[in-house]
């Protein structure tokens, strides 16, 4: 629980708890789970039908770890993974952790020039990749950039003899040699580099330790009451913290089962996996849940096994949350808030929170973390109920951006507070509301307008499936309000006049959108956040 407000009611909260932080490496944590739950299912790949018990999973992780050592991967070396969700992705995550390598997650959507940047910036020496996906030929792109990436010694492709060679090489490294390597490792060692989606320029590599992500995954799982009985459907990408930390590490620290429904998100495949595997938990960003709920035959799937799940990536519209609880049987669904640089979760709703807290907030501070809301100019903590920048501190804050100390210093201050860039309000009860990004706040004729408030209200319009609100240049007011709408029925989208009439009774006049764009989808970052900068730039296009 978070500590009570001080006499001055400042927007500060410290998450306490009776369960101590884990002091393990990821490898030692997995070994304990294998010992305790060896005969329970650890991993299911619905598409291929492959299944692993924890004993089988642990054995395959060990073999891959020894194969990586035989291939010359030393402690601290960077190993890249450029692939869609698949069992080999998960095996590599734990195998690299066991040998002290740093796994670098690469977005499968990257093109050759983006791949080249990451290979060089992180100094990746060994790369594991998919062969193809849609229009992407991964081997061809690797061949295209290889001469410009001197650190890259070898590339291995899933489903290809080059990947099989990795595990075949394991015979030249003994289990004792692997154990000796593991004995050298510290929980504070870097274990993962995740490239954050920048709005300008190239992304930065957030460097995370065993301690960062193992604990964050564990406590996310604790707060949704995971046990070895749970089966977690993960349609969210593994190359981001949502999949590999909140999903995979939350599962393996509790003996739960990871269910991979499809390589990349397909709403019908997700619901089929939940039904077939009797999943108890389902993850997604709000747009994923919206896509599932809007399937014409949604009611035909049996989702009665679900009890919980996690929504994150961007704030969840209240109307969507209500449907998820009522129609998907996810009475204990949890909202999580965070960012890659904080491993990722800082606040989370609890399973016994009422619907108002789970629809109106992003929860309260996680155990062993601190959050505060400050004036973004002065850095002074504001009173509860007032908006400001959300900052967080504790075990979850990244080690830094890989090889970019100046960029690290821009967001992590001398007190080790991470500056999130998010506008938030801490309520009297300690629960946090995200009201937007500092850079997304609209200033219309001197009035501060928070897009989140307008978006929440527009979600109550019967013709709107999803909506994003942005500010666009205006000669008279400086900025004007634009609503970007995905309609429920493309043949019958809402008109600006209908939106205006809908808003007039409930919103102040300066908050009513003055422009409307009808879209089929929103531009998204790798972490599931809508790229509002592209919506602004596309206005009038």
How far, CA to CA in Å, does 480 sit from each of 320, 388, 423, 518? Answer: 27, 22, 20, 17
Look up residue 168 and give its two tokens.
């075949």
Residue 529's pLDDT is what?
78
Residue 4's pLDDT is what?
52
Look up residue 456 and give its two tokens.
């929440």
- Alpha-carbon distance of 433 to 422, in angstroms, equals 10
DSSP 307: -
Q: Which of 198, 235, 239, 243 is nearest to 103 (CA)?
A: 239
Q: Which of 391, 352, 389 is nearest to 13 (CA)?
A: 391
- Alpha-carbon distance of 500 to 110, in angstroms, equals 40
* SS3 state at 426: strand
- Beta strand pairing call for 515-518 and 478-487: parallel
Q: Which of 243, 276, 270, 269 is nearest to 258 (CA)?
A: 243
Q: Which fold has domain 441-537?
A: GMP Synthetase; Chain A, domain 3 (3.30.300)
Look up residue 531 and give its two tokens.
């790229």
Residue with the two structure tokens 């970052």: 525
CA angle 18, 23, 25 (to 5 degrees): 140
- Alpha-carbon distance of 252 to 430, in angstroms, equals 30
The domain locations on the chain are 13-426, 441-537
Q: What is the mean pLDDT of each run of 10 residues along the chain (541 residues)?
A: 61 96 98 98 98 98 98 98 98 98 94 93 98 92 97 98 96 98 98 76 89 98 98 97 97 99 97 98 93 96 98 80 94 94 97 89 97 94 97 98 96 97 96 87 82 90 95 88 96 96 88 95 81 84 58
Residue 201's pLDDT is what?
57
Q: Which of 473, 452, 461, 458 is nearest to 530 (CA)?
A: 452
The length of the chain is 541
Q: Which of 268, 260, 312, 305 is nearest to 286 (CA)?
A: 312
pTM of the predicted structure, to 2 decimals: 0.87
Chain-centre distance of CA 222, in angstroms?
A: 17
Residue 207's pLDDT is what?
98
Architecture per CATH, 13-426: 3-Layer(aba) Sandwich (3.40)
Residue 539's pLDDT is what?
77
Residue 526's pLDDT is what?
67
Q: Is the dihedral of CA 258, 261, 266, 269 positive or negative?
A: negative
DSSP 524: B
Dihedral of CA atoms 372, 378, 384, 390 in degrees, nearest 10, equals -40
- Alpha-carbon distance of 388 to 410, in angstroms, equals 18
């Amino acid at each position: 629980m978070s500590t009570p407000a001080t006499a001055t009611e400042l927007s500060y909260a410290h998450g306490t708890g009776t369960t101590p932080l884990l002091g393990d490496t990821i490898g030692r944590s997995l070994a304990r789970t294998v010992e305790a739950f060896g005969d329970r299912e650890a991993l299911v790949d619905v598409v291929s039908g492959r299944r692993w018990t924890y004993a089988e999973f642990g054995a395959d992780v060990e073999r891959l770890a020894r194969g990586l050592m035989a291939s010359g991967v030393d402690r601290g070396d960077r190993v890249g993974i450029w692939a869609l969700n698949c069992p080999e992705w998960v095996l590599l995550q734990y195998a690299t952790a066991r040998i002290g390598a740093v796994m670098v997650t690469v977005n499968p959507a990257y093109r050759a020039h983006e791949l080249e940047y990451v290979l060089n910036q992180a100094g990746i020496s060994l790369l594991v990749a998919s062969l193809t996906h849609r229009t992407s030929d991964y081997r061809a792109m690797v061949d295209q950039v290889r001469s410009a990436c001197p650190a890259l010694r070898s590339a291995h492709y899933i489903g290809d003899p080059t990947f099989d060679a990795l595990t075949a090489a394991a015979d030249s490294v003994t289990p004792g040699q692997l154990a000796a390597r593991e004995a050298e490792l510290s929980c504070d060692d870097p274990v993962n580099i995740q490239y954050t989606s920048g709005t300008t320029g190239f992304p930065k590599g957030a460097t995370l330790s065993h301690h960062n992500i193992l604990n964050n995954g564990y406590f996310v799982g604790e707060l949704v009451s995971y046990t070895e009985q749970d089966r977690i459907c993960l349609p969210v990408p593994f190359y981001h913290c949502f999949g590999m930390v909140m999903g995979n590490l939350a599962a393996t620290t509790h003996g739960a089962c990871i269910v991979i429904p499809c390589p990349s998100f397909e709403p019908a495949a997700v619901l089929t996996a939940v039904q077939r595997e009797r999943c108890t938990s389902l993850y997604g960003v709000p747009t994923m849940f919206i896509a599932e709920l809007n399937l014409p035959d949604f009611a035909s799937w049996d989702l009665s096994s679900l009890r919980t799940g996690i929504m994150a990536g961007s704030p969840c519209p209240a109307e969507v949350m209500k449907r998820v609880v009522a129609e998907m049987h996810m009475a204990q669904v949890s909202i999580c808030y965070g960012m890659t640089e904080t491993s990722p979760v800082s606040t989370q709703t609890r399973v016994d929170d009422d619907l108002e807290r789970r629809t109106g907030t992003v929860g309260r501070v996680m155990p062993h973390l601190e959050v505060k809301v400050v004036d973004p100019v002065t850095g002074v903590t504001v009173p509860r109920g007032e908006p400001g920048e959300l900052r967080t501190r504790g075990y979850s804050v990244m080690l830094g951006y890989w090889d970019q100390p100046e960029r690290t210093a821009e967001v992590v201050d001398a007190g080790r507070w991470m500056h999130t860039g998010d506008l938030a309000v801490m309520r009297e009860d300690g629960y946090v509301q995200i009201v937007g990004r500092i850079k997304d706040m609209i200033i219309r004729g001197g009035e501060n307008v928070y897009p989140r408030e307008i978006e929440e209200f527009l979600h109550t319009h019967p013709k709107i499936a999803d909506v994003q609100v942005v500010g666009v240049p205006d000669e008279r007011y400086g900025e004007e309000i634009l609503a970007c709408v995905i309609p429920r029925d493309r043949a019958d989208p809402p008109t600006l006049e209908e939106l205006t009439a809908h808003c007039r009774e409930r919103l102040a006049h300066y908050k009513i959108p003055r422009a409307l764009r009808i879209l089929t989808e929103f531009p998204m970052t790798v972490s599931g956040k809508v790229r509002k900068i592209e919506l602004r730039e596309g206005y009038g296009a």
